[in-house]
Amino acid sequence: MPQGKQTVVGIFSRSGKEEYPWLVNVLRKDANICPRPFVITNSNASAFREAVGDCDFAILYHSMNRGRLNIADVTDSLYDEELGFLSNTLGNDKVLVIADDLEDSSDDAKNRILNSQPTIRRAARGIFLFSRADKRDNNTIRIKMAPIIVIITAVIHKWTSKNYVSLLTHITAIACVANAVRRPSPRNWAFAFSWVAASLTYLTDPPLIDRLGLSESCIPPAALVTAIAISRPHWPRMSL
């Protein structure tokens, strides 16, 4: 994510945003997070899918004020389809579930929920419980929200192997072009054009290298060989 761009965190719920102002307010205190509430209804599936596509991260929020803790896998569960769509679209590492207005927000209560509603464990990074008593203490809210903020920040800014390979490809391309300009030759320009072409495959969305079904595993050793070759103009020296 480009530096300076806010992380859009969708808060998806059948409850209106007026039921969880504390959650929105805590998220807004982080300048890098933009909370975006969305009310799920039985008739706005298309709008829901579009809203998910605009998010970097998602929180599925459920309040016990609705009567039952029926998030998934139980009779009359409210979010089976929505939770699955969030996970499939964003990845389960970018989905959290918050259960609010509970009487018991202990670890034992969390384990009971996960055991009875196992889809939450599979489709989300985790579930966080908040009791009515928790929300009466700002310090408790801050402490319990801290790991959520950390998860959102860490996941969004996490570098994967693809990020490193992409960076390596761009650096190698720049080095090859600089070398070809400084020491022009068919050999050096061949290196330059090849690596520029490889670099350009990462500038499309999704990367062209993925759409072509090519493996990235060859790029690090190829970059190493290229670095040696452009630093030693006569390498490899072959004797006949």
User: Do 91 and 204 reside in the same domain of the chain?
Assistant: no
User: Do 73 and 43 reside in the same domain of the chain?
Assistant: yes
* Measured distance CA(207)–CA(201) in Å, rounded: 6
Question: Does the residue 240 lie in any domain?
Answer: no
Neighbouring-strand partners of residue 102: 131
| Distant-in-sequence, close-in-space partners of 38: CB < 8 Å, separation ≥ 6 | 10, 11, 12, 13, 47, 48, 51
* Measured distance CA(119)–CA(116) in Å, rounded: 9
Helix (H, G, I), strand (E, B) or coil at 12: strand
User: Do 146 and 127 reside in the same domain of the chain?
Assistant: yes
* Measured distance CA(196)–CA(232) in Å, rounded: 20
User: Do 38 and 150 reside in the same domain of the chain?
Assistant: yes
User: Is pLDDT of 212 > 70?
Assistant: no
Overall pTM > 0.75: no
| Residue 146 confidence class, pLDDT cut points 50, 70, 90 | very high
Question: Does the residue 239 lie in any domain?
Answer: no
Choosing from 136, 156, 176, the residue where a domain stops is 156
| Counted domains in the chain | 2
* Measured distance CA(191)–CA(87) in Å, rounded: 41
Query: What is each CA distance from 233 to 19, 152, 219, 237, in whole angstroms?
Result: 68, 48, 21, 9
Choosing from 121, 136, 156, the residue where a domain stops is 156
User: Do 60 and 165 reside in the same domain of the chain?
Assistant: no
User: Is pLDDT of 47 > 80?
Assistant: yes
Structural domain span for residue 96:
7-156
- Looking up residue 109, the CATH number of its domain turns out to be 3.40.50.10140
User: Do 38 and 96 reside in the same domain of the chain?
Assistant: yes
Question: Does the residue 1 lie in any domain?
Answer: no
Cβ neighbour number for residue 73 with a 10 Å cutoff: 13
Choosing from 114, 137, 156, the residue where a domain stops is 156
* 179 phi, psi to nearest 5 deg: -65, -40
Residue among 101, 103, 102, 95 nearest 120 (CA): 95
User: Do 138 and 216 reside in the same domain of the chain?
Assistant: no
Judge whether 159 and 166 are in contact, CB under 8 Å. no
Question: Does the residue 237 lie in any domain?
Answer: no
pLDDT number for residue 205: 62
Question: Does the residue 136 lie in any domain?
Answer: yes
* Measured distance CA(60)–CA(58) in Å, rounded: 6
User: Do 86 and 148 reside in the same domain of the chain?
Assistant: yes
User: Do 32 and 140 reside in the same domain of the chain?
Assistant: yes
Question: Does the residue 72 lie in any domain?
Answer: yes
Q: Note the pLDDT tens digit of each residue in 78-104.
A: 999 999 999 999 998 899 999 999 999
